[in-house]
């Protein structure tokens, strides 16, 4: 069969276009307390959510980690010195990162996911190559559902963005669960 006949057959057999469904955002899941729901779901999938009164509480944690000699990535100016050369670092340099501190844009109560824009990661490897991932999200940026999250984010704004929910997990056909196989072994989300 020639290329032209294949393309003609594809063109002649296109399915009819169907309009996307109209979703009434007010009719989807609602929670009385999105913070409590986010915390409960994140903890059920292996993460941890901690409410903070101020960033100084977290700043002392960063300094303690650095004092232990751990390789820490910090992208938040409120937590002290920011890693200025992080954007140009390569895998070989970042493979020993113990903990990464990043800001999340939107958190989703229904599934415990946090959206990060590429600029918040500084380097696309940051949330995946570290042993332990720490995200900071403002409580006012927690929404009930993914429908609402997509209303707040601009997925095409940058070259890359990602929803992260819980630590990295995978299980093979033998039902062996492995934590941290494709990303961080732990996820803590601080809610400010």
Does the pLDDT value for residue 122 go beyond 90? yes
Output the pLDDT for position 173. Answer: 67
Output the pLDDT for position 133. Answer: 96
Output the pLDDT for position 44. Answer: 93
74 touches 62 (CB < 8 A): yes
**Mean pLDDT score, 32-55:** 95
Among 46-55, 64-73, 115-124, 177-186, the minimum mean pLDDT is found in 177-186
Domains of the chain from N-terminus onward: 29-191 (3.40.50.10420)
The better pLDDT of the pair 62, 171 is held by 62
**Mean pLDDT score, 122-130:** 93
Q: Tell whether the torsion through CA atoms of 122, 126, 132 and 138 is positive or negative.
A: positive
What is the per-residue pLDDT across 9-37, written as a single tens digit (0 to 9) for each? Answer: 998 898 888 998 888 888 888 999 999 99
What is the pLDDT confidence band of residue 177, given thresholds at 50, 70 and 90? confident
**Mean pLDDT score, 131-138:** 96
**Mean pLDDT score, 71-82:** 91
Tokens read off for 10: 């594809």
**Mean pLDDT score, 143-157:** 92
**Mean pLDDT score, 111-135:** 95
Output the pLDDT for position 47. Answer: 94
The predicted model scores a pTM of 0.85
What is the pLDDT confidence band of residue 159, given thresholds at 50, 70 and 90? confident
């Amino acid at each position: 069969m020639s290329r032209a006949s294949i393309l003609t057959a594809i063109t002649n057999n296109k399915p009819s276009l169907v309009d996307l469904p109209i979703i009434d955002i007010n009719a989807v899941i609602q929670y009385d307390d999105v913070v409590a729901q986010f915390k409960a779901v994140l903890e059920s999938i292996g993460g941890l959510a901690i409410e903070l009164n101020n960033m100084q509480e977290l700043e002392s944690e960063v300094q303690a980690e650095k004092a232990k000699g751990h390789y820490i990535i910090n992208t938040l100016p409120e937590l002290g010195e920011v890693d200025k050369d992080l954007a140009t670092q390569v895998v070989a340099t970042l493979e020993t990162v113990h903990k990464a501190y990043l800001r999340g844009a939107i958190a989703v109560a229904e599934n415990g996911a946090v959206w990060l824009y590429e600029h918040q990661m500084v380097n696309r490897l940051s949330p995946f190559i570290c042993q332990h991932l720490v995200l900071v999200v403002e409580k006012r940026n927690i929404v009930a559902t993914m429908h609402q999250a997509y209303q707040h984010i601009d997925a095409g704004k940058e070259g890359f963005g990602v929803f992260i929910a819980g630590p990295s997990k995978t299980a093979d056909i033998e039902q062996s669960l492995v934590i941290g196989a494709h990303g961080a072994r732990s996820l803590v989300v601080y809610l400010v």
